[in-house]
Copies of this chain bind each other. A is one copy, B any other.
Amino acid sequence: MTITIRDVAEAAGVSTATVSRALRGLPNVDETTRAKVKAVALSMDYVISPSASRLASGRTGSIGVVTPQVAGWYFSTVLSGVEAVLQQAGMDLLLMSVGDESSPVPRNLVAPRLNRRVDGVITIALAPQDAQLQSVLSLHLPTSLIGAAIAGVSTAGIDDVAAARTATQHLINLGHRRIAVITGAPPGEFFTAPHARYLGFTDLMREAGLAVDPALETRGYFTIAGAESAMTKLLAERERPTAVFAMSDEMAFGAMRSLRNHGLHPGRDVSVIGIDGHDMSELLDLTTVAQPVQELGGIAAEALMRQIRSDDGQVPTHVQVPTQLIVRGSTAPPAN
């Protein structure tokens, strides 16, 4: 029924070993032989059996990508960067989503599902202390992290502290003094983007001699809706902020929405800045600190491939790509 390497070997008048070598481009095969084998294989529509190949070689030819969610701008954009590189490297991409830590029902660990089926793993935005990430690391597979840094593991990301500083600096430069922040997760819970960005914010505020009013710190949970109510809460303050730093563009969108619902105009009445460089930020005229999200995925995937190919303990790489302040209409000098 299905045609095997032996059929090809017979048809080509060589051994299965030679077919295997020829088709995989291994050395020590006469080029004439190789050409013939290839031709025969092609004519017979021969396709190598991955399962058999994997079993015999121990290599799976696939990479697991672990992410807290598959929908959402950031995740899907990173994923597309990863996918492009893996495809080009001839690797299969196994997608596994793990709810994030805050999910009510603790999902099963991914590690078992990853265990014997991938040659390496890429995680997206999993915090170092996350149980899922820990379980992945315990597999001792080549691993590459996106948006989180751990010593000894390849990572790709931005300098979150610097990005937050850039955003804050921009607001201060415009003349803002009363600046609110919409954080994602509670800062400090994990040392990851929210925490680092919070640090960058408070550091710079302190350096500028500005107070960080606890009443102006709210949580937006990295969602539009969450940030919208956070902003609404901020607007209820007796002394409103003149500017808001949202830790993600989507949260900035939510803040802008709240402003509009209150008859306020982003930029004119209250300045809003985000971090991301979301596809929609241009459309919504949002000032933001852009990060090359897709590129991050590509970088992580390439680091992983390098690690797998030179299967000795290749030194893990830590790539930090620059961010870029993009000024648009949502930020302006304070009205008063």
Contacts and interface: CB of A to CB of B under 8 A. Distances in A.
Interface of A: 2, 47-52, 54-55, 60, 62, 69-73, 75-77, 79-80, 83-84, 87, 92-97, 112-113, 115-117, 224, 253-254, 256-257, 279-280, 283-284, 294
Contacts of A2: 116
A51 B60 contact: yes
A271 to B, nearest CB: 18
Contact of A49 (B77, B95, B96, B116): B116
Nearest to A53: B51
B71 A117 contact: no
Given A51-B54, A51-B55, A83 B95 contact: yes
B60 A70 contact: no
Given A84-B97, A284-B284, 17 more contacts: A2-B116, A47-B115, A50-B54, A51-B52, A51-B54, A51-B117, A52-B55, A69-B80, A70-B79, A71-B80, A71-B294, A76-B79, A93-B95, A94-B94, A94-B95, A224-B283, A254-B283
- Complex A-B, nearest 9 residue pairs according to Cβ-Cβ distance, in ascending order: A76-B76, A51-B54, A71-B80, A51-B55, A70-B80, A47-B115, A93-B95, A71-B77, A71-B76
Contacts of A54: 50-51, 54
21 contacts: A47-B112, A47-B115, A47-B116, A50-B117, A51-B52, A51-B60, A54-B54, A70-B76, A70-B80, A71-B76, A71-B80, A73-B73, A75-B76, A80-B97, A87-B96, A92-B94, A93-B95, A94-B95, A257-B283, A280-B280, A283-B284
A84 B60 CA distance: 24
A79 B253 CA distance: 24
Contacts of A75: 76
A80 B73 CA distance: 12
Contact of A83 (B97, B117, B224): B97
Nearest to A224: B283
Contact of A116 (B51, B96, B257): B51
Given A49-B55, A70-B79, A115-B47, A94 B97 contact: no
A87 to B, nearest CB: 7
Given A47-B112, A55-B52, A94-B93, A72 B76 contact: yes
Nearest to A86: B95
A96 B94 CA distance: 10
Contacts of A97: 80, 83-84, 87
A138 to B, nearest CB: 11
A294 B115 CA distance: 28
Contacts of A55: 49, 51-52, 55
A92 B280 CA distance: 32
Contacts of A257: 283
